[in-house]
Amino acid sequence: MDHVKFTAMKDGDREDYTFLTEHEVAFTKGTADRLLTALETLDEGLSGYQITRLGHSLQSATRAWRDGADTDWVVATLLHDIGDIFAPYNHDEYAASIIKPFVREQCTWVVEKHGDFQMVYYGHHVGGNQHKRDAYAGHAYFDDCATFCERWDQSSFDPDYDMLPLDHFRPMVREVFARKAYDPAVIQPGVRVPLVDAEVARGR
């Protein structure tokens, strides 16, 4: 069987959908590498900054790594702006939807909301709401997102920073996207893991 028999989904049978499921499962195994390739295209992204979007992603992830952050944090940080090219008006939500099945809920929420939190640094300069993040005051992950933005995101536009190469992060991306999607042991709703682990950082 090379392809399904139907031309309208309602006409498919069990054989068709078993065949498609096998193909789709096999295709998902390449997700990590497709994302890594997409990251590389960020070098062609928005100009005007002193480093490229890829450079920003790598610098942010390097800071997370050097802070002793766990794999979920590092990969979420690496991918937090992957939507800049494909979804410039909701890049944060786009990135969050990609990582959501494979990382801790805490990390997904932070990536999804980081655009609103970043407004505190520049919103007043562009006629926006500098205090947009205040809408989330009291949320369990509010402080995590504020820390993410302060330590790893807003500070990572420095052309002189000694960032790690993409190859350093490839194994972590592959590890994360090889996980079972929506595994409760991974998602861990409500669990908070510190962004900074000084002991782990010393070992890196």
What confidence score (pLDDT) does residue 60 get? 98
Asked if residue 6 is part of any domain, the answer here is no
Q: How many domains does the chain have?
A: 1
Residues 44-69 have pLDDT tens digits of: 766 789 999 999 999 999 999 999 99
Asked if residue 7 is part of any domain, the answer here is no
Pick from 15-19, 102-106, 162-166: least confident: 15-19
- Domain boundaries, position 38: 14-202
Q: Confirm if 116 and 133 have CB atoms less than 8 A apart.
A: yes
Asked if residue 178 is part of any domain, the answer here is yes
Asked if residue 165 is part of any domain, the answer here is yes
Asked if residue 134 is part of any domain, the answer here is yes
Domain CATH number, residue 120:
1.10.3210.10
Distance CA 169, CA 149 (A): 20
Asked if residue 5 is part of any domain, the answer here is no
Burial of residue 182 (CB within 10 Å: 0-12, 13-18, 19+) is exposed
Asked if residue 120 is part of any domain, the answer here is yes
Asked if residue 184 is part of any domain, the answer here is yes
Regarding pTM above 0.85, the answer is yes
Of 82, 139, 150, 129, give the one whose Cα is nearest residue 106: 139
